Structure 1
Amino acid sequence: MDRGSERDTPPGRGAGDAAAGRIPLAVVVVDRDGLVSHWSSGARRLFGVGREEAVGRAAADLLPVSGALPEDLHGDAMPDAYEGYDGLGPDLESSLGGRTAYATAGRARLVPHGQEADGERLDVLWWAYPLVGPGPSRLLVLAADATRLRDERGYDDETAERISPGFARHTELPASEELERRLPEILPNMGPGLSGRIVSQVLELGYPVLEFSQFDRVPVTPYWGVPRRAGRRRAEAVVPQQRTTPVVVPSGAEQELEYAAVRERLEFLNEVSSAIGSSLDLGETIREVTSAAVPRFADFAGTHLRAAVLAGEGFPDGPPDAQTVMFRVWVEHNDEPGRWDDTVPVGESFAFPEHTPFYKCMVTGEPVLIPRVTDELSERISGEFEKRDLRPLIGGRSLLIVPLKARNVVLGFMVLMRRPDRPGFDDMDRTTGAELAARAGLVLDNARMYTYQENVADTLQDSMLPQVTPRMAGCDIATRYLPGTRLGRIGGDWFDTIKLPGSRTALVVGDVMGHGLNSAAMMGQLRTAVQTMATMETPPAQLLRNLDDLARRLGDNYLATCLYAVYDPIRGELHLANAGHIPPVLVRAEDGSSELLDLPTGAPIGVGGVPFEATRVKVSPGDRLVLCTDGLVEVRGSDIGEGLAALCESAAHPAASMDDACDTIIRALNTRGGRKDDVALLMARLNGIPAEHVAEWRLEADPREVGRARRLVRERLLAWGLPQAVETAELLVSEVVTNAVRHAVSEPVGLRVVRTDALLFEVTDDEPGLPEMLGAGPYDESGRGLRVVSRLAREWGASASGHRKTVWFEQALAGRR
């Protein structure tokens, strides 16, 4: 307790007795709806109601301030809760109507929370300040326990009854500047913006005082706010010392101050713990952790993290050292704007020099406390950093550096500082700061792990999605993939395009049921199986049957839908089979109409024992085929038919390009609320291949036909205006036709040349055995043909169907490789 001035001495007391001045205060803020928005620990102690129970409750149910509340907010319940006995209540309420712009004060006897109405009542002094300006805050209430004031100060009942709350200009009081500086400390955990606005209005309306008579006023200052340990030098006392009489401390006050200090720090840590970690976003978590310390615990806070943590990578290996790069990721302070920006900019990365307190904290993992940074120390610290003068920023300040750790590994550290005019950090602050950093370290590590898992999931998903070539033989392709909104953002949707012999293209869309890594792993297995079977020219229905068998062998829980289509641009035909997937949309180029293709639905992959059917659909050049997964058209609570209708409508919308057409579909359907599933979309414009760009011949199984094949190819390429391709084409055709003639059994050999963006050559014979590339020696007369093809062709391959096989190769045209 503090010693007051002589004018603090109540009538009838000796000059050496304790005087009123510092008393416990309850601080409450009421919003525009009459509900409690802030509730201090002092309010909990005085009224017996905790913060969780009070915030959001009607103030009229808790506070005895009838004259300051609008009439419709306190209703009829208030008279039963308290009684005014100083004559101010009814008259004040009648004259002001609860809607005054002036501060009001009063005194009341209040029934303690949870006690009977006929029990002992609290003697409560209160001050109420109406608040104006932006934000919901509309009333600040200060309250004190007159009974405690009487007991601690030794006032008798007659004197205590003469004490009343009032207001005075703060300039009329001793040490007015100190009063103004200390006033924000009573506000319950507010930011500097809101607390500054409230303090300015309190000073304008009048400082709270206790009136003992018409001429004796004592300024009310709290000793609950920023607590102090008992026995510390109280250089910041707000009431000037006008006598040399020693301070009189009531019995038990030191223990209570110690208890209050510990309780306040525990409440601070509890509030910080509930405020940080509201988001798993690493950047947001860093800002929350740094901002939590300012201004209540420190005037400056800067957070530094290791590069691996900031990048969301795996857990850092080993302790940091002199080569460990730290990033300054956020700075929070209540100094004038811009003061720190140039010297300690956010985003800067560097290794901290040895022989600095920052390095000591980083490598030891223990807090470093410097009560005051001396000129010598600030000079030494500043000298370790090139081209920056830290002395004006750290000189004279109290410095506390706390490590941010998780699983006993230092992830970074936080630098905390207090201005010279504020009490320096002490051992209790070191403990509080260490606990704050420990909780912050766990929250940051959780955010780091989440970011790491997000990166792993994104990388896995990206690696499993194919790099689709936008131009295939006779068709153009555009795709979109949208990750789901569920945690992890990884699922089992996929699409694929596969080049097939005969200038054909396989178009695939599939959806593994479920989400997460298991679904993604199954998707990868099924996609690989589809690619393998497609290149072996497995018919669509047979491919889905094989895929179903594979899924059942992999496990009972493997279920997926799949739509497999083969486009033949020469015949102008689609060959499709469906395994429980939503039907595709076909947009006709002739009239712009769109339709859902009527396909046999089939059962999902993994059900087993269900036959699959294939359907052929004729298409024209310019038609568009749209395949997607159900995440695009199905929303929980809505009929999937509505989504399919929207898909048909948006797919038919004219677009300048394939990418624009995909974007139109995504915009039309992805705005529907409730989408959580991932989405795969594949669109193919079926351009076809004109008949004049295809040449076919039948050759007899006679070695003399090899020369004819060369001549036919030469004439066709010259007719197409491709003389530069003749020489290579003749050589490759000669090698492949020679092998076909040699191995043909009885049927003629087929030769086909197709012109697209490259030249495709196909040679077919009736020997189903696939050719092998042999290792020919220097004296071998055969075995070099496929080596020549492999060296000169852009691509080549072979496939067997029935009792026939086809060897094909592509020759790049000049400028199109």
Structure 2
Amino acid sequence: MEPEVPPQRTPSSHDAMTGRVPLAVAVVDTNGLVSHWSSGARRLFGVTRQQAVGCPAGELLPVTGVLDRAEEEGRPGAGPVPDCGLGAELDPPPGGSLLYPAAGRARIDEPGRGRIDVLWWAYPLVGPGSERLLVLAADAGRLGGGGKGEGRDTGTVAPAFALHTDFPGYQELAGRLPEILPSMSVGEATRIVAQVLELGYPVLEFSHRSQVPVTPDWGVPRRDPRHPARSPLGDGEATPAPRTVPRPELDLEYAAVRERLEFLNEVSGRIGTSLDLERTIREVTSAAVPRFTDFAGTHLRAAVLAGEGFPDGPPDVTTVWHRVWVEHNDEPGRWDDTVPVGESIAFPEHTPFFRCMVTGEPVLIPYVSEEASNRISGEFEKRDLRPLITHRSLLIVPLKARDVVLGFMVLMRRPGREPFDDMDRTTGAELAARAGLVLDNARMYTFQENVAETLQDSMLPQVAPRMAGCDIATRYLPGARLGRIGGDWFDSVKLPGSRTALVVGDVMGHGLNSAAMMGQLRTAVLTMATMEMPPSQLLRNLDDLAQRLGEQYLATCLYAVYDPIRSEVQIANAGHIPPVLVRAEDGRAELLTLPTGAPVGVGGVAFETATVRVRPGDRLIL
């Protein structure tokens, strides 16, 4: 009998009462401009990251009172600033400069939503970086209370600060604080987190009696119901603890799964926007950094990248892999010499990369020790991977289609970030599965495109530029990309008596069927031309052949024989566009009037031969 597991649920608005708050996070630099802007800030304020970064913080965030007005107004070169679309009404704290953390409540006008109630926390930052202010904000409407006196059973909700050690599970609370921050380097995040913990953890204060730590909406530290909260004012009155669940770990697990599903959904929407193979690879690789990993490198089998069709059999030590793209958030240039983009390489047998591509299964190394790093790097000749993989977390996932490995992705996380675990391995495998499907579509398109180009090139003749008594120039230019392969053809045939036969035709339709019919008709024309048939007789025989091939085979064709001794051209037309004759003496272009027969394949229509006089220097255009 299977154990009964409490059903997982979608977090309700009441979860906000226990600290689960969708947070907006922004960082302000020394010039008072926004330098980091989270996705939560985009959802709360309705301003995208591209619009926010570089804008004055006072135009976007309801914390004008805590910004250093003197610094903003006296900054050299300061001029008019753009209106970034938000206005706020708030009571600023005393003083123009922020020397200690501050919190407040503001009402702002957001386009499309009207006036909303926002809680905010602001931290002054110090250190070598340019970050000088960290701002957290949340929608007070999601906490179940409106303005003052409008709350439900919770009363007034206000932002405040408290020591993180005041709450159960404070170590996990502090350890997950970096996940609140927008994407930034480990050094920046570590410095900011240390200052936040020192200045006070952001909390929600309910009726000035109960304080609950603010966490992002992936999980919530629960209050212990055995220890009722006390008023920070010291009145000794106990307040009920927030609601608990029987097994909080299930709620955290549910939130972690939801976060990964959101990531996969976002990535799926970003990849596959093009059937270009290399562009698809770049999209897949870039989508994983930095949200899922700090480094991502994608390798494809050289045969796949070259468009040589579907690879046969599993790869081995002789299989050549092409490094198509590398994406990372390390310092620029660090990876360029060791793992350059565009390199072709065969991977050694005793490496995790080889194991992944042979087994077709993800390979996870949660922590690459110095011993493991030395062992892996020692398998490669003339390259030292140790500075890049030591003390990192490594995950290699295969890119497969129809159970054949087309390539693999190397994912790594830097020290200080949570190492890859089994759930990350599952997430990476799902990412690779979706990417493999998109890559296979792009690969098949590339292969079919190469086949079409090869077929068309093989069917177009290699016309000699000089024949007896004439010069010939040709050009094949499809009217559309989809029409590159079809039934169009042209040719020239050397005949006895210094004569030259010229032919141009077009099988109706496009695609391989039209190209196959074109090949048969072209061969027939070449054969009959060498038999020195008159143009009209040649088209009659071609018409009979097309009828025997099938009723659906129709083609237009124009056949001409140029005789330089008689200075004449004999022409017969089967429904094709008439030629143009450009006279050399005055440059006048003349559309030749010819008896136009039906296309070959119709049957029962007579063809006639017309004779056109030409002079030296004239040009005949078919």
Whole-Å separation in 2 of the counterparts to 1:531 and 1:339? 62
The CA deviation at 1:91 is 9.9
Whole-Å separation in 2 of the counterparts to 1:391 and 1:229? 38
The CA deviation at 1:448 is 1.1
Task: Work out whether 1:251 is the aligned partner of 2:244.
Answer: yes
Deviations 1:392-443 (A, max 9, x none): 1111111000011111111111100011121110110000000111111111
CA contact (8 A) 2:535 2:570 kept: yes
Whole-Å separation in 2 of the counterparts to 1:474 and 1:222? 88
CA contact (8 A) 2:356 2:396 kept: yes
TM-score in terms of structure 2 length: 0.70
Whole-Å separation in 1 of the counterparts to 2:356 and 2:176? 37
SS of equivalent residue, structure 1 residue 506: strand
Task: Work out whether 1:25 is the aligned partner of 2:22.
Answer: yes
**In the TM superposition, what are the counterparts of 1:774-793 in structure 2 within 5 Å?**
none
Which residue identity is paired with 2:408?
A: F
Deviations 1:698-722 (A, max 9, x none): xxxxxxxxxxxxxxxxxxxxxxxxx
Q: Partner of 1:391 in structure 2?
A: 386
The CA deviation at 1:325 is 1.6
CA contact (8 A) 1:277 1:443 kept: yes
Q: Partner of 1:106 in structure 2?
A: 106
CA contact (8 A) 2:561 2:571 kept: yes
**In the TM superposition, what are the counterparts of 1:395-474 in structure 2 within 5 Å?**
395-474=390-469
Whole-Å separation in 1 of the counterparts to 2:529 and 2:286? 58
**Structure 2 vs 1, CA of residues 602 and 104 (structure 1 numbering), >3 Å: closer, same or farther?**
farther
Which residue identity is paired with 1:452?
A: F
**Structure 2 vs 1, CA of residues 123 and 583 (structure 1 numbering), >3 Å: closer, same or farther?**
closer
Deviations 1:324-353 (A, max 9, x none): 221211111111111000000112222211
Q: Partner of 1:559 in structure 2?
A: 554
Which residue identity is paired with 1:106?
A: A
Whole-Å separation in 1 of the counterparts to 2:243 and 2:352? 42
CA contact (8 A) 1:164 1:210 kept: yes
User: Mind listing any 5+ residue stretches in structure 2 that lack a counterpart?
Assistant: 1-15, 27-36, 49-60, 65-81, 93-102, 123-134, 146-150, 162-173, 223-240
SS of equivalent residue, structure 2 residue 325: strand
Q: Partner of 2:118 in structure 1?
A: 125
**Structure 2 vs 1, CA of residues 229 and 384 (structure 1 numbering), >3 Å: closer, same or farther?**
farther
Whole-Å separation in 2 of the counterparts to 1:498 and 1:358? 57
Whole-Å separation in 1 of the counterparts to 2:108 and 2:453? 63
**Structure 2 vs 1, CA of residues 71 and 265 (structure 1 numbering), >3 Å: closer, same or farther?**
same
CA contact (8 A) 1:491 1:516 kept: yes
SS of equivalent residue, structure 1 residue 432: helix
Q: Partner of 1:223 in structure 2?
A: 216
**Structure 2 vs 1, CA of residues 306 and 230 (structure 1 numbering), >3 Å: closer, same or farther?**
farther
Paired-residue identity, %? 68
Which residue identity is paired with 1:24?
A: V
CA contact (8 A) 2:573 2:596 kept: yes
SS of equivalent residue, structure 2 residue 439: helix
Whole-Å separation in 2 of the counterparts to 1:417 and 1:487? 42
The CA deviation at 1:147 is 5.6
Q: Partner of 1:293 in structure 2?
A: 288
CA contact (8 A) 2:298 2:407 kept: yes
Larger radius of gyration between Structure 1 and Structure 2: 1
CA contact (8 A) 1:126 1:165 kept: no
SS of equivalent residue, structure 1 residue 303: strand
Q: Partner of 1:311 in structure 2?
A: 306
Whole-Å separation in 1 of the counterparts to 2:470 and 2:526? 19
Which residue identity is paired with 1:251?
A: T
User: Mind listing any 5+ residue stretches in structure 1 that lack a counterpart?
Assistant: 1-18, 30-37, 52-64, 75-83, 93-102, 114-121, 130-139, 151-155, 167-176, 232-247, 628-817
Whole-Å separation in 2 of the counterparts to 1:39 and 1:611? 77
Which residue identity is paired with 1:416?
A: L
**Structure 2 vs 1, CA of residues 26 and 614 (structure 1 numbering), >3 Å: closer, same or farther?**
farther
Whole-Å separation in 2 of the counterparts to 1:607 and 1:282? 44
Whole-Å separation in 2 of the counterparts to 1:39 and 1:374? 33
Task: Work out whether 1:542 is the aligned partner of 2:534.
Answer: no
Of residues 506, 520, 525, the one that matches 2:520 is: 525
Deviations 1:101-159 (A, max 9, x none): xx99625999xx9xxxxxxxx99535699xxxxxxxxxx99533566488xxxxx9697
Q: Partner of 1:676 in structure 2?
A: none
**In the TM superposition, what are the counterparts of 1:45-60 in structure 2 within 5 Å?**
none
SS of equivalent residue, structure 1 residue 337: coil
Task: Work out whether 1:361 is the aligned partner of 2:356.
Answer: yes
Task: Work out whether 1:284 is the aligned partner of 2:279.
Answer: yes
The CA deviation at 1:160 is 4.4
**Structure 2 vs 1, CA of residues 286 and 108 (structure 1 numbering), >3 Å: closer, same or farther?**
closer
CA contact (8 A) 1:372 1:396 kept: yes
Whole-Å separation in 1 of the counterparts to 2:38 and 2:517? 54
Which residue identity is paired with 2:524?
A: A
Whole-Å separation in 2 of the counterparts to 1:265 and 1:512? 53
Which residue identity is paired with 2:576?
A: H
Of residues 248, 251, 267, the one that matches 2:262 is: 267
Which residue identity is paired with 1:365?
A: G
The CA deviation at 1:618 is 0.5
The CA deviation at 1:285 is 1.2
Which residue identity is paired with 2:487?
A: G
Q: Partner of 1:691 in structure 2?
A: none
Which residue identity is paired with 1:428?
A: M
Count of residue correspondences: 498
The CA deviation at 1:608 is 1.6
Which residue identity is paired with 1:414?
A: M
TM-score in terms of structure 1 length: 0.54
Deviations 1:734-766 (A, max 9, x none): xxxxxxxxxxxxxxxxxxxxxxxxxxxxxxxxx
Deviations 1:244-301 (A, max 9, x none): xxxx996234333222211121121112112111111111111112112111111111
Whole-Å separation in 2 of the counterparts to 1:575 and 1:261? 80
The CA deviation at 1:529 is 0.8
Q: Partner of 1:715 in structure 2?
A: none
Deviations 1:450-508 (A, max 9, x none): 11111111111111111110100000111111245344731111110011111110111
Q: Partner of 2:53 in structure 1?
A: none
Q: Partner of 2:337 in structure 1?
A: 342
CA contact (8 A) 2:19 2:220 kept: no
Whole-Å separation in 2 of the counterparts to 1:469 and 1:443? 44
Which residue identity is paired with 2:535?
A: P
Whole-Å separation in 2 of the counterparts to 1:475 and 1:525? 28
Of residues 567, 574, 585, the one that matches 1:590 is: 585
RMSD across aligned positions (CA): 4.6
**Structure 2 vs 1, CA of residues 72 and 327 (structure 1 numbering), >3 Å: closer, same or farther?**
closer
The CA deviation at 1:23 is 4.0
CA contact (8 A) 2:24 2:137 kept: yes
SS of equivalent residue, structure 1 residue 565: strand
Whole-Å separation in 2 of the counterparts to 1:321 and 1:258? 39
